[in-house]
Amino acid sequence: MARTRRRIPWSDAGFRAATGLAAFLVVGIAVVIGLELFRNSRVPIHEFGWKFWTNKDWDPVNGEFGAYTFIWGTLYSSLIALLLGAPVALGIAIFIVEVGPLRLRRGLGFLTDLLAAVPSIVYGLWGIFVLVPLVRKVETAIAGSRLSNLPIFSGPPYGIGMLAAGIILAIMIVPYISSVAREVLRAVPQSQREAAYALGATKWETIRIVVRYGRSGILGAVFLGLGRALGETMAVTMVIGNSPQISASLFAPQYTMAAVIANEFTEATGDLYLQSLIEIGLVLFAITLAINVLSRFLIWSVSRERRPRPRATPARLPEPA
C-alpha cells in the first residue's frame, strides 16, 4: 500500500514541551514584571528607603521624592468610587438576578457590561468636557451654601478635582462589581430561597438571605472593583487636576499614583526622578496584586462552599498505553 501523504510525527514529548514553553512564558512574564520594577527602582530605594512612602514632598527640581501624596490621592479617589459604585452595582445585580422581569434581564446585563467596554480614554474625554462642567456647577452650588464650612467641601469649585475623579471611577467600576456579583447571586443554591419562602418570608426577606449567603463573594466582587479603581490611569488623570497636594476636600485638585506616572514619565530627567516614578509603579503593582488575590480568594470560597465544581473532563486524562 503506497503512502498517500507524509505523516507528521506527533510526539507527546514535543507537545508537552511546546505548550509547556508557552505556559512558562506566562509565568515568566509575571516574574519579569516584578523583577523589572524592582531593578529599575534601585536608585530611589537606595536613596530614600522606607521614607519614600511617608514623604509628602514631590519636588523634582530639588531631587526630593515621596509617594505619600499619590498614595493618599489613589486611596481617596478609590474610596469615593467604592462608596458610590458598590451599592449601585449591587442594586443592579439584585435587580437582574432576583427582582427584574425575565425579559429585561439579559438586555440589562448586556447594557451594564457595555459600560466595561468603553475605553478609559473615552471616559476621560467625556469627563473633561461633560462631567467636569457639571461637577463645577454642583460644587459652585455647594460652595455658596452653608455646607462649604465642612472641610470636605472647602476650596474653590474648580470642577476638576477629587470629586470628578471619584465619580468617573465609580461609573467605571460598576460593571465589574455587578457582573461578578450577578454570578455570585446565581450560585446561591435555590434551596436557600425555598427554605426562606417556606417559612413565610417575603421576597425581600428572601433576598436578604441570598445576599447574606453570598456575602464573601460579593465582598470579593467589591474588592475586584477596588483593584480596578486603584490602577485606573487615563480617565483619572484627565479630571483630577494633577496637583501634588494632600487635601481632605473633594473640590481640591489632587494626584494619584497612576496619574503621576502617566504625566511625568516622559519628562523625567535623571535616574532618580525616573526611577522614583518606577518605584511608585512598584507600589501600585504590589497593592493591586494583594487586592486582586484577596478578591479571587473570596469569590472562590463561595462557590466551593456548597456544590462541587461540575467537570466536563476528568481530572486526569488516561495515559495512552
Partner 1 sequence: MTPTELEAPGVTVREPEPRSEDAAVRMETRNLDFFYEHVQALHGVSLAIAENSVTALIGPSGCGKSTFLRCLNRMNDIIPGTRVVGDVLLDDIDIYKGDVDVVDLRRRVGMVFQKSNPFPKSIFENVAYGLKINRTVRRSQMAERVEKSLREAALWDEVKDRLDDPAMGLSGGQQQRLCIARALAIDPEVLLMDEPASALDPIATQKVEELIYHLKTSYTIVIVTHNMQQAARVSDRTAFFMMGRLVEYDRTDKMFTNPGEKITEDYITGRFG
Partner 2 sequence: MSTLCAAAVVLALLPLGFILFYIVSRGISALNPAFFTKLPKPSGETGGGMANAIVGTLKLIGLASAASVPAGIGAGIYISEFPGSRTSTLVRFCADVLNGVPSIVVGIVAYGLVVLPMKRFSAIAGAVALAIMMVPIITRSTEELLRLVPVSLREGALALGASRARAVWSVVLPSALPGIITGVLIAVARIAGETAPLLFTSFNNQFWAPGLDQPTASLTVQIYNYAISPYDDWHRQAWAGALVLVAIVLAFSMLARVATRRLERMNVG
The interface region with partner 2, picked from 75-83, 116-124, 151-159, 193-201 by CB under 8 A, is 116-124
Q: Is the dihedral of CA 164, 166, 169, 171 positive or negative?
A: negative
Give how far the C-alpha of residue 106 lies from the chain's centroid of Cα atoms, to the nearest Å: 24
DSSP 242: -
The residue among 218 and 249 lying less far from partner 2, judged by its C-beta, is: 218
In the set 88, 128, 201, 262, which binds partner 1 (CB under 8 A)? 201
Of 209, 262, 268, 294, the one binding partner 1 by CB under 8 A: 209
Among 63, 119, 133, 270, binds partner 2 (CB under 8 A): 119
Q: By CB under 8 A, tell whether 33 contacts partner 2.
A: yes
Binding residues for partner 2 restricted to 83-102, rule: CB under 8 A = 87-92, 94-96, 99-100
Is 130 an interacting residue with respect to partner 2 (CB under 8 A)? Answer: yes
Residue 8 or 102 with smaller CB distance to partner 1: 102
Per-residue mark of binding to partner 1, 177-196 (x: CB under 8 A): ------------x-xxxxxx
CB 54, CB 68: distance < 8 Å:
yes
Q: How many CB atoms lie within 10 A of CB 278?
A: 22
Q: Which is nearer to partner 2, 104 or 150 (CB)?
A: 104
- Minimum CB distance to partner 2, residue 299 (Å): 11
**Does residue 213 bind partner 1 (CB under 8 A)?**
yes
Cell (9 digits) for 202: 417575603
Q: Select 39 or 56, whichever has its Cβ closest to partner 2.
A: 39
**Helix, strand, coil % in the chain, rounded to nearest 5:** 75, 0, 25
Contact between 313 and partner 2 per CB under 8 A = yes
Which one of residues 132, 210, 230, 240 is an interface residue with partner 2 (CB under 8 A)?
230
Calculated CA dihedral for residues 293, 218, 169, 167, nearest 10 degrees? -150
Q: Does 272 bind partner 2 (CB under 8 A)?
A: no
Helix axes 215-231 and 257-264, enclosed angle (nearest 10): 20
Report d(CA 57, CA 55) in Å as an integer.
6
How does DSSP assign 107-155, residue by residue? Answer: HHHHHHHHHHHS-HHHHHHHIIIIIHHHHHHHHHHHHTSGGGGSGGG-S
Task: Tell me if 101 contacts partner 1 by CB under 8 A.
Answer: no
Given the complex with partner 2, which of 147 and 293 has the nearer CB atom?
Answer: 293
Q: How far is the CB of 53 from partner 2 (least distance, A)?
A: 17
- From first CA to last CA, the distance across the chain in angstroms is 27
**Residue 224 in contact with residue 129, Cβ under 8 Å?**
no
Q: Is 187 in the site for partner 2 (CB under 8 A)?
A: no
The one segment of 27-35, 45-53, 144-152, 156-164 that binds partner 2 by CB under 8 A: 27-35
Q: Which spans of this chain sit near partner 1 (rule: CB under 8 A)?
A: 102, 189, 191-202, 205, 209, 212-213
